[in-house]
Amino acid sequence: MAQPHAAPGVSYVMPVLNEVGYVADAVRSVLAQDYAGPVEVILALGPSTDGTAEVISGLTAADDRIRVVENPGMDIPIGLNRAIEAARHPVIVRVDAHTELSPGYTARGVETLQRTGAASVGGVMAAAGRPGVQAAIARAYNSRFGLGGASYHDDDAVAEGPAESAYLGVMDAALLRSVGGYDETLRRGEDWELNFRLRNSGHLVWFDPALQVRYWPRSSWGALSRQFWATGVWRGELVRRLGGRNSLRYFAPPLFVIDLLLCVLVAPLLASGLVAGWVGWLLALVYLGPLLYLALLGFAAVRSPGGVIDRLRVAYAIAVMHLSWGSGFLLGVTRGARDAVDTSRTES
């Protein structure tokens, strides 16, 4: 009789849409994992138009551990739930087509899951980019100034312990299913919302900095702006749904956008002399926000490696991320997300 594996089986679930340049490397990094237990890869394939389906067809023909479930509506939570429904193993590892797992990721993640009794374990997103715009965007991702200091975005994060959310996630399949999987009414922020429900149900979410994932960000300014605008819209939607149970750091970019709008409104009043004296000085305080923000961008640029152009690109990437996210948030929190979609993978 065959002996059972000492290590639990792992099902990798990956939503895929228009990832012709990345999906093969992502799948290879999964199948190259040094892990003793049985594994499978389930790809939730959206209606791609760039040749991704043909690449995946070649991958499935070469390795029977790879399976495909269709995700015709493109929404990530729906695709993930379809993949989870098809999964055969007790551990779910959520991966993206724009990511590559470090060699010992799965073994470490499963060990941490079992050691801590957590429902979800995540690590560090280590953004990487090809020279030029994508490299600058990657540096902005890795900077604590870029994404608000969440532990899984912080290149200086070192402490293992309980967390608000987990990047991607090595998850207990039974507990994941017990809370209903991913919320299919969301189009962005689905990972944070899932971890919120897990924590609200009394389960532990755990951050382990030994888990490293290489992430390839968007490679154009337009795609970056569209991505962060949609993410901001859906974060605003989550604030509408959950109120103050969102971290305070999410409110910084929209407050800055509001400050910029106030600067525009105040400028003609000050220039025309309609307001003066202490009232004018009080109104002029709104300009402290942009001045401090420019100082922050300058500091982030100085800390970034490379030449002058490289540093300016990093500062610009941070500004695009903050302003797009903040603007989207204000729309989402005031009117709801409605039909907002991240088009950064479907438009050039």
Beta carbons within 8 Å of 288's beta carbon, 6+ residues apart: none
> Looking at residue 341, what is its pLDDT?
80
What would the pLDDT profile of 43-94 be if each residue is shown by its tens digit? 999 888 889 999 999 999 999 999 999 998 878 999 999 999 999 999 999 9
What would the pLDDT profile of 31-54 be if each residue is shown by its tens digit? 999 999 999 999 999 888 889 999
- Check: CB of residue 16 under 8 Å from CB of residue 97: yes
Q: What is the DSSP string of 173-211?
A: HHHHHHTTSS-TT-SS-HHHHHHHHHHHTT--EEEEEEE
What would the pLDDT profile of 223-255 be if each residue is shown by its tens digit? 999 999 999 999 999 999 887 677 778 888 999
Task: Compute CA 275 distance to the chain's CA centroid, rounded to the nearest angstrom.
Answer: 45
Q: Summarize the confidence of residues 1-20 as an average pLDDT.
A: 80
Identify the bridge partners of residue 214 per DSSP, sorted by sequence position: 100, 126
Q: What is the DSSP letter of 8?
A: P
> Looking at residue 250, what is its pLDDT?
82
What would the pLDDT profile of 257-304 be if each residue is shown by its tens digit? 999 999 999 998 888 878 778 888 888 899 999 999 999 999 999 999
Query: CA–CA separation, 336 vs 178, rounded Å?
Result: 28
Angle at 324 between CA 344 and CA 95, to 5 degrees: 45
Whether the pLDDT of residue 157 is over 70: the answer is no
- Check: CB of residue 181 under 8 Å from CB of residue 87: no
Residue 215 parent element (H or E): strand 205-215
Question: What is the pTM (predicted TM-score) of this model?
Answer: 0.86
Per-residue pLDDT band for 149 (boundaries 50, 70, 90) equals: low
Q: What is the DSSP letter of 2?
A: P
What would the pLDDT profile of 168-186 be if each residue is shown by its tens digit? 999 999 999 999 999 999 9
Per-residue pLDDT band for 109 (boundaries 50, 70, 90) equals: very high
Per-residue pLDDT band for 11 (boundaries 50, 70, 90) equals: very high
Task: Tell me if residue 172 falls in helix, strand or coil.
Answer: strand
- Check: CB of residue 101 under 8 Å from CB of residue 29: yes
